[in-house]
Structures are given as C-alpha cells and as structure tokens.
Structure 1
C-alpha cells in the first residue's frame, strides 16, 4: 500500500470515528431535559395505543419466560450494532469503494439529522416506563449496555426517536444488497428485521422510533447521490471466439 493509499485510509478512519463518537456523545444535547423526555415517552406510548400498534410490553412479556432468548437479544443489542456497521464499512471500503462512499455519506447525514431530532424531542425509552409493565432486560438478565441514567455520561439514554440502531441496520442491509447478486441479496434484510425485534423486546425502542427513522432515511436517500447498481458480470459486446479464431474484422474469411 503506497503513501497516498495509507493517507486516504487514515482520513476515512478519522471520518468514521468522528461519526461514531458523535453518536455516543449526543447526551450533552439533552442535559436538563429528563422531565421532558419522560413526558414525551408517555405521549408516544399513548399515541401508539391510539394507532392500535402492537404493545411492546406484550411482546416483551411473551419472551421473559425464556431467559436464554432474552440474554441472546441483550447480547445482540450490546455487541452487534457497532461491530456490524464497522465491518460493513471496512468491507465496502476495500471491495466496493463506490458503495462505501454512499454508505458513509448516508450514515453521516442520517446520524446528523437524528441528533437534531434527539435535541428537539428528547424521548425516554420504553424500559424507563415501568408503569406500563416494561422492564430493562439488560439489567434484569445481562449484559447491560447502560449505567444509571443519572450518572451515565457516555451515552444519550433519552434519544429513543428516531432509532439509529434500526436506521444503521437498514443502511448496512441496503449496501450489502447492492453488492449481492440473485435471491441471496434479500437475506440481508434479516439484519434490520432482527435489530427491530431486539430493540423492542429489550425495551430500548418503540415501534414509532423505527417508523420515524425509516421516514428520515427516505429523506436522506433522496439527498445522497445514488450508489452504483449491484455488481454483475460484464457481458462482452462480442462473444468469445473459439481458441485460435479471431473475431476482428480483418480475420473474416474472404470469399
């Protein structure tokens, strides 16, 4: 790898690192808005019930009797989100630079817009609404990602809407789908689907958080230049000639 390639890779690493740090340090945007975040949580919960959306509490209760599955969901929430996104970015940077550029721009713009919404609309996650029957599965069974909201200075626990867990998972899936041929591309949709189930079951997000991020992602995709279509086999203009036979005009047999 030459010096130019090394500098370019370091520059991209710094850009992506800044993106991740901005996500993690967004707590400063909601200092002093805890009461507002809890009031918004009650409003979102009641709005979902008015829309007759499935109850997050009901879904969680069906799984609480299966401790192994709950622990698995907690592990997915704790250990898959960032590593999966980082791995996809590295893969695209090495193998699909055009798709990497689209992915990086989309993640950056989606995160920036989301941080603005987090500041304007602080929202406590469902796990803080003990009155509706939802528990914090991370604290109950482990592993727990967050500390006490009062002392946690490393993450923004009042930024439920929109769900960047779901949003980033969708971006990863779209990027991988664009570089996968055939029916197998649709298998990548399992990542955001599982992510959505996990964030709801663990009490970290509402259904509306996922709906909101999908709408926001639609806006972002309209602003970011489209990625290169899925890679496919390039078909030559002329079929490959048998060995020893040239297809150039000068090689045509004379009459």
Structure 2
C-alpha cells in the first residue's frame, strides 16, 4: 500500500520571469510617481479636515465600532503601543518588497499578476488622495484619539506644516491595509501549504495597528478592500 504524498511544487518557469533591470526601473518609476503625486496633494488642510468630520460622522451613522476601542487595548502598556508604532513604521514597505522579490524568484507568473494588481491599486489610491484629501483620526479633535507615534514613538511623521516627505492627508484608502491584504492573497494563491490561510493574520494585524495608532479610520481599510477587489476582478492571474 503506497503512502499518500503531497504533490511536489513545480519549479519556477524562468520564461515567465521579466528582465530584472526592467522590473527594477519599472518599480522605482512607479514609486517615484506615487511619491510625487502624494506631494501634489499636500496643502489642502481645510478640505482634509472637513472630509475627516464627514467620514467620522458616517462611521457613527453606520454604527461602526469606535477606533478608540482598539486604541484603548494598545494603551494598556507602553511596550505594546510602541510595538504597534514600530510595526506601522517598519513593516509596510519591507514586507511588500520581500513579497515581490520572493514571487519574482520563485513564482514569476504570480509576480507579474501581483505587481500589476499592486500598481493598479496604488494608482487608484493616488487619484483618491488627490480628489479626497483626508486628515487621519490622530489629527481630528472630535475623535478623541492619541497620536501614539508622537506620544510614545517611534513616529514616521513630523509636524504636517514642515513634513515635506509625506502627505499626511492621504488617509483614504489605506495602502498599509491594501498592500497587506494583497500580500496575503498573493501568497495564498502562489503556495500550496494547508497553513497558507494564516497569511491573513498579516492584514488583520495591520488593520488593528493602523486603527489603534489613529493613523486610519475603519472606512480607509474598507475603501482599500474595495479597490483591491476591483483590481483582482479586472486583472486575472
């Protein structure tokens, strides 16, 4: 009687792997366009705060749980809130880069699909950031939340008036959550392990972090999920 074995994973198809130099230039170009676009969206302070009040009121109308409930959990200990701030500051870009590099080396066909989806979501998010500037809940007095990065550290943002490296009024949609969710979906699609649903813990933890640190509203994550769902429907593997 033969023992049942798991099917061996296929070797990566080198013919599906795009040229490395071209991909590096493409990804770098997309990143520069995104950063430049974010810079164009700065300066709309009044509109960003008006939109923030509208989002906050809409969440209460929809009876979404208060972001403060998550933050209160983090504030039970200084170490926990600092860990959340560190996760927010350091995991977003490296995790996405590692995801794309692994796919490029091990699953080239999945890499092309994932890169296209991420590019589409990021481009759509940039348009929304320009059209709908939105102050995060840490800036909204009505939210009653603490800017945990500023109070406990580490923080990735300086004072909005002097911070020329990032657009702090680009809360919706949350690319922190959108990219994290795509990372989980991409790895679940590209691997065969029965434990691969555990990758969903990454976007779940990201969601709790971005809300608990008062960098995003619940609706920011919902908008990112909608954009990602649309991209996945249009861009097939």
TM-score by length of 2: 0.89
Question: Which residue pairs with 1:191 in the alignment?
Answer: 202
1:126 matched to 2:146: no
What is the alpha-carbon distance in structure 1 between the residues aligned to residue 183 and residue 122 of structure 2? 14
- Aligned equivalents of 1:77, 1:190: Cα separation in 2: 15
**What is residue 233 of structure 1 aligned with on the other side?**
none
Any stretches of 5+ residues in structure 1 without a counterpart? 1-6, 228-255
> Where does residue 58 of structure 1 map in the other structure?
69
1:67 aligns with one of 38, 58, 78: 78
Residue 34 (structure 2) aligned to one of 16, 23, 42: 23
For residues 64-86 of structure 1, give each alpha carbon's deviation from its aligned partner in whole angstroms, at most 9, with x where no partner exists. Answer: 13111101100100000000000
Q: Are 2:166 and 1:158 equivalent residues in the alignment?
A: no
Task: Note the C-alpha offset of 1:163.
Answer: 0.6
3-state secondary structure, aligned to 2:23: helix
Q: Hey, what does 2:23 align to over in structure 1?
A: 12
| Cα deviations by residue, 1:168-191 (Å, 9 ceiling, x for unpaired) | 011111111012214211011011
**Cα deviation code 1:152-180 (max 9, x no counterpart):** 11111101111111000111111110122
**Aligned length in residues:** 222
Paired residue secondary structure (2:155): coil
> 1:81 is matched with which residue?
92
Residue among 209, 212, 217 paired with 1:201: 212
2:63 aligns to what SS in structure 1? coil
Which residue of the other structure, out of 177, 199, 203, is the alignment partner of 2:188?
A: 177
Native 8 Å contact 1:26 1:155 kept in 2 = no
Partner secondary structure for residue 75 of structure 1: helix
Following superposition, the deviation at residue 15 of structure 1 comes to 1.2
Assess if the C-alpha contact under 8 Å between 1:27 and 1:153 holds in 2: no
Per-residue deviation, 1:53? 0.4
Q: 2:127 aligns with which of 116, 132, 157?
A: 116
C-alpha separation between the residues in 2 aligned to 1:140 and 1:25?
29
Unaligned segments of structure 2, at least 5 residues:
1-17
CA offset digits 1:109-145 (Å, max 9, x no partner): 1100110011111001011013321111011111100
TM-score (norm 1): 0.83
* Mapped contact 1:114–1:164 kept (Cα < 8 A): yes
Q: Which residue of 1 aligns with 2:7?
A: none
Residue 147 (structure 2) aligns with: 136
For 1:191 and 1:58, locate their aligned partners in 2 and report how far apart those are by CA, in whole Å.
20
Please say if residues 139 and 147 of structure 2, whose CA atoms lie closer than 8 Å, have aligned partners that are also in contact: yes
Alpha-carbon RMSD across the aligned residues, in angstroms, is 1.7
